[in-house]
Amino acid sequence: MIEKRQFYINGEWVAPLAPRDHDVIDPSTEEACAIISLGTSADVDVAVKAAKDALPAWRATPPAERIAYVERLLEVYKARQQEMAEAISLEMGAPIDLAFAAQAGAGISHITNCLTAAKSFEWLHPLGDGTPGAMIGYQPIGVVGLITPWNWPMNQVTLKVAPALVAGCTMVLKPSEEAPLSSMLFAEFVHEAGIPAGVFNLVNGDGMGVGTALSGHVDIEMISFTGSTRAGRAISKNAAETLKRVALELGGKGANLVFADADDKAVERGVKHMFNNSGQSCNAPSRMLVERAIYPQALEIAKKVAEETKVGNPREHGKHIGPVINKSQYDKIQGLIEKGIAEGATLLAGGPGLPEGVNRGYYVRPTVFADCTPDMSIMNEEIFGPVLSIMPFDTEEEAVKVANDTEYGLTNYAQTQDPERLRRMAMQLQAGMIELNGQSRGAGSPFGGIKASGRAREGGRWGIEEFCDVIAISGYAAE
């Protein structure tokens, strides 16, 4: 049993003021794998004070020096990537190969992209309208609260911490209590990199306790939150009293439009993308809309891919999916699978219950529904599990209408070989990110959505800007 009962505050590991133990559950065994302590508002006060005290010196540190600290953090992270992968695999059930390459690897990519953006970031530049002395400056917003989820822990921690450090902010991180071990290991990386005391602080806790204390704290200037839309609304309301900036990256219900002229791998690619990370991705293409001319073939491919998708132990090497995070999530997924059947969708593969040969762990059968209609629950609710819903369409206009008819707007996808149609899809699909023909976002592109998916823009130059106040300067004396 791993014991991690301390918080990282002001450059030291310290005991919480009023310890309350919390079991971290290994979702592959349903048994506790670690014990942490959950904090209180008093612990938040101590951490925020440390961040506030460290702010003047850190914001006065030249950007080049702040960048150098983040470069050292990246070196430590790379050297300890295997440790990070093992922590993620244990706490949230990601298969170890996925945990190393994609989960832990995402942290390396995001820090690298942040550094690339930082080295060309203009902290002070002319407005550019021909007005002499008119300048635009960027100043750190101040002390920031960072609240991160369990499904891609390092993806979200690094998307927030690296740009906040570069921008000159100090911070308090609250990782998910479901998967805190990776963030506590990350705190070790921060310490090893020599980042000054108080700049980065970590307090474990739940949303109602530490999360609420952070989002309402008078000395925190900004909350950056990734998680559910429900929690995002609650955080926004709590933060309103102190008029702090709130950056939200929330849920999604991505549509994947597959036209008759799509490439041969389009359907297979979409199904595999949906099942990746056991379907626990906010940008998963969970609604596949297929042009009727190729609908029968698409169903055959989807069924085959689902049946060939292995479910297995996250500590074993190989291409398989692991469990979902906890019993609550497992039960929610099972309920929506049952609802899909009850509402008349055709169960093409998978279904309710544990996979064959499995008697413990929160494992879900890779499931595909066909003949779905836009009004079905499985076409509207974010399932957050390996469940794909497929429906046919007859016209491009119909497909776009169905794709956009959702409260969410994180990522939409389109597969076609028609260049004109690709251009139309890029501008007609309503989401913060549009991925065409299987092409991932470019390095340094912003990650974020619209509508109920939140409107944060994380990554690259946009990620740094989110942690800055933009200052309009007049009468500046040029050198």
pLDDT at position 4, please? Answer: 96
H helical segments located in 61-179: 63-79, 81-92, 96-98, 105-119, 153-167
pLDDT at position 304, please? Answer: 98
User: Where do the DSSP E strands lie in 127-254?
Assistant: 135-140, 143-147, 170-174, 200-202, 222-226, 245-249
In single-letter form, the type of residue at position 402 comes to V
Considering 114, 169, 282, 372, which one is annotated as catalytic? 282
In single-letter form, the type of residue at position 92 comes to M
pLDDT at position 339, please? Answer: 98
Considering 178, 221, 249, 291, which one is annotated as catalytic? 249
Q: Is 114 a catalytic residue?
A: no
pLDDT at position 105, please? Answer: 98
H helical segments located in 100-146: 105-119
pLDDT at position 128, please? Answer: 87
Chain centroid to CA 32: 25
User: Where do the DSSP E strands lie in 243-294?
Assistant: 245-249, 255-258, 287-291
pTM of the model: 0.97
pLDDT at position 477, please? Answer: 85
Q: Is 282 a catalytic residue?
A: yes
Query: Edge-to-edge strand order for the sheet containing 346-349?
Result: 346-349, 367-370, 387-393, 287-291, 255-258, 411-415, 433-436
Neighbours of 88 (CB within 10 A): 28
How far is it, in rounded angstroms, from Cα 226 to Cα 456?
Answer: 9
pLDDT at position 52, please? Answer: 99
How many Å is the maximal CA-CA distance in the chain? 74
Q: What tokens appear for 40 in the block?
A: 């209180």
Q: For each of the chain's 479 residues, which pLDDT tens digit applies?
A: 899 999 999 999 999 999 899 999 999 999 999 999 999 999 999 999 999 999 999 999 999 999 999 999 999 999 999 999 999 999 999 999 999 999 999 999 999 999 999 999 999 999 987 788 999 999 999 999 999 999 999 999 999 999 999 999 999 999 999 999 999 999 999 999 999 999 999 999 999 999 999 999 999 999 999 999 999 999 999 999 999 999 999 999 999 999 999 999 999 999 999 999 999 999 999 999 999 999 999 999 999 999 999 999 999 999 999 999 999 999 999 999 999 999 999 999 999 999 999 999 999 999 999 999 999 999 999 999 999 999 999 999 999 999 999 999 999 999 999 999 999 999 999 999 999 999 999 999 999 999 999 999 999 999 999 999 999 999 998 76
